[in-house]
Homo-oligomer: A and B are copies of this chain.
Amino acid sequence: MSGHAAIVGGGVIGGGWAARFLLAGWDVRVFDPDPEAARKIGEVLENARRSLPGLSDSPLPAEGVLQLCDTLEEAVAGAAWVQESVPERLELKHKVYAAIEAAVGPDVLIGSSTSGFTPSDLQAGAVEPGRIVVTHPFNPVYLLPLVELVASPASTPDQVARARAVIDGIGMYPLHIRQEIDAHLADRLLEAVWREALWLVSDGVATTAEIDDAIRYGFGIRWAQMGLFETYRIAGGEAGMKHFMAQFGPALKWPWTKLMDVPAFTDDLVDLIAGQSDAQSGHMGIRELERMRDDNLVAMMRALKPRDWGAGAILNAQDRAQGAAAGLPRTADAVTDPAAPVITVRRAVPVDWLDYNGHMTEARYLQAFADASDRFMEIIGCDQAYIASGGSFFTAETHIRHLDEARLAEVIELRTRVLGGGGKKMHLWHEIWCGTRLLATGEHVLIHVSLETRRPAPMPAQMAAVLDRFVTAQAGLPLPEGAGRFVGQPR
């Protein structure tokens, strides 16, 4: 594709489009009369630069060049694609299209970010109506893949295919909606929820926070991976989609929403939906769908834990309650025998720790070892408060021996010994046990650092004293088998 992407309207949506195109390697020219446009686009771009590149497991192409233009003509001249994201006023959009058409060649496509207008609405009065299509993205545009692509009969199949290729080429998902209706597809669903939610707040049934919790702790997590119909297909269980429809069809006549204009629940509608559901998901059995759903839910909810957010925050609270109940020590005083290995971690193997070999994957062994190191750091006083004050430990060196396998949901236990330490250094030895089986050993040297200089620094006297208690108490223990080994050393 030669030519740049022209972005007309540089708000949250236009800025998101600019970021998508730039990070996909396109040059981008933006026109927005807002004097704040440069700052606003810069902020969106900064967000995109920190989050989008890591979504991919391969590097993005070199970023394109961004240029803010003083006139619309300058932005669109020579463009290979024009994306319009101006406010939702039809007469304004018509004016903008007229100016664009005057400045570009006849085969340049114009995508509109409109939430509500149909392509036919937008095309009224255009010189080349077919070049104007709806390409409606979702915020944040630089992360969410969905773009609703809607064309009127005025667009040729070739124009639609070219629009699809552009969207696809910048890493987004063009969902081609075959029929023009106000608000396309997703926003119709969103508008229905919005109207119902306004009723709930307006009637004093719930607050905005309660409604949000009802979404993000329940069906919202489901919808991140399967939509409405596939979810209900599973809910129908072995009896299938028809069973589900039969069970919940009558609810259409009940006052379960204030939005009461409902379609006729005929056998034809049931057959239509059941048939489409078969075409969509029939290649997988219900058990298979259930496990796919469950693995997705576990992985996504666990993905929210590190930021202590949403369902992840609920899991963390539960973990804290269970961790205390499991009796693992969090302070040196809670360690009853400093001469014995300290149990630092006890947990089940989650689905997102498995690999294609059907067992816990090697990187998660190091995660378990790192969690054990974190817990031992906490025990000697390097806890969250201490880290926030500017000191921490960085791992300098690690040696892992894999001796046996761990399977899904097996409970593993980490036992930690101190092989040495003091000054800037701590030498730890972890073993992962599953019942009576030793799965792996990890030997680690950690260096105490200043988080300001990122350089080694002696640990504080208090921490050194606590560490020394363990070093001294364990000095008499025999060296563990496998310590001090190098990779490939004969046994």
Contact = CB atoms under 8 A, between A and B. Distances in A.
Given A185-B211, A201-B276, A208-B280, 4 more contacts: A171-B314, A198-B269, A220-B227, A397-B401
Contact of A306 (B235, B262, B299, B315): B299
Contact of A58 (B11, B215, B346): B346
A187 to B, nearest CB: 6
6 contacts: A144-B222, A188-B200, A195-B259, A208-B229, A208-B230, A292-B307
A47 B193 contact: no
Contact of A309 (B173, B207, B296): B296
A63 B160 CA distance: 57
A306 B356 CA distance: 9
Contacts of A145: 217-218, 311, 314-315
Interface stretch (A78-86, A361-369, A460-468): A361-369
A275 to B, nearest CB: 9
A395 B353 contact: no
A350 B53 CA distance: 7
A277 interface: yes
B189 A197 contact: yes
A200 B188 CA distance: 9
Interface residues of A, number: 190
Nearest to A236: B12
A181 interface: yes
A277 B208 CA distance: 6
Interface stretch (A27-35, A101-109, A321-329, A469-477): A321-329
Contact of A257 (B195, B214, B396): B195
Interface stretch (A68-76, A123-131, A135-143): A135-143
Given A208-B276, A272-B202, A53 B399 contact: no
Nearest to A259: B259
A228 B175 contact: no
Interface string A430-452: 00000000000001110000010
Interface stretch (A2-10, A334-342, A404-412): A404-412
A315 B202 contact: no
A189 B175 contact: no
A310 B297 CA distance: 12
B225 A216 contact: yes
Interface in A221-275: 221-230, 234-235, 237, 247-248, 251-252, 254-265, 269, 272-273
B301 A302 contact: no
B257 A259 contact: yes
Contacts of A195: 192, 252, 257, 259, 262-263
A334 to B, nearest CB: 15
Contacts of A212: 226-230, 280
A328 B315 CA distance: 39
